[in-house]
Amino acid sequence: MKGPGLVAWFGRKKRRITRLLVVEDEPLVAFDAEHMLGDAGYVVVGTVDRVTEAVRLIGDGASIDLVLVDMNLADGSGMDVAIAARAADVPVIFVTGQRPSDAMTVAVGCLSKPYLQRDMLAAIDAVDAVLAGREPRRIPAGLTLFPQG
């Protein structure tokens, strides 16, 4: 059995990232992200707007493959979430309008707001590739990947 569909199916890589934690204090942005990610086949293990909630989920050992975190949250800084995630060996993408100067010490990358939905999905795919030791197929507009090591 041959055909372009068959080749494309066999060529598709299995996702390493499937379970996401969304940390965002703007309700509409959080709602849109949660639904877009769910529609794309990801499991959103939580959508929270506070540092304390995010740190608790991470610390409780919830199965999380990637944290998407805004910098300015209702009760503090997304940097605190990223530090907790890094301590638990969970990669982070900052999704923010203002990238912190020390972001590369705790995150895999930073996606600038505002972003298109396809750019968010491409950013997750790019981080998935980096974590698997592959070169990303596409780096979307607004994504900065940080050296890993």
Q: What pLDDT is stored for residue 4 in this prediction? A: 47
pLDDT of residue 12: 52
Number of domains the chain is built from: 1
**Torsion region of 60: left, alpha or beta (phi above 0 gives left; psi -120 to 50 gives alpha):** alpha
Determine the angle formed by the axes of helices 51-59 and 78-87, rounding to 10 degrees: 10
Angle of helix 117-131 relative to helix 27-39, nearest 10 degrees? 60
**Does residue 3 sit within a domain?**
no
CATH assignment of the domain containing 141: 3.40.50.2300
Kind and range of the H or E run holding 1:
none
Q: Which domain holds residue 65?
A: 16-145
Dump pLDDT digits (tens) for 11-49: 455 778 999 999 999 999 999 999 999 999 999 999 999
CA distances, 1 to each of 4, 50, 138 (Å): 10, 52, 30
Residue 75: predicted pLDDT: 94
Assess if residue 97 is contained within a domain.
yes
Answer yes or no: is 11 within a domain: no
pLDDT of residue 56: 96
- Residue 28 counted as domain residue: yes
The pLDDT tens digits for 71-98 are 999 899 999 999 999 999 999 999 998 8
Q: Which residues contact 133 (CB under 8 A, 6 or more apart)?
A: none
Please report whether residue 9 resides in a domain.
no
Q: DSSP state, 103?
A: G
Query: Tell me: the pLDDT tens digits for 91-124?
Result: 999 999 888 888 999 999 999 999 999 999 999 9
Decide if 4 is inside a domain: no
Has residue 32 been placed in a domain? yes
What torsion do the CA atoms of 87, 135, 104, 76 make, to the nearest 10 degrees? -60
Place of tokens 């503090």: 76
Q: Is 38 a member of any domain? A: yes
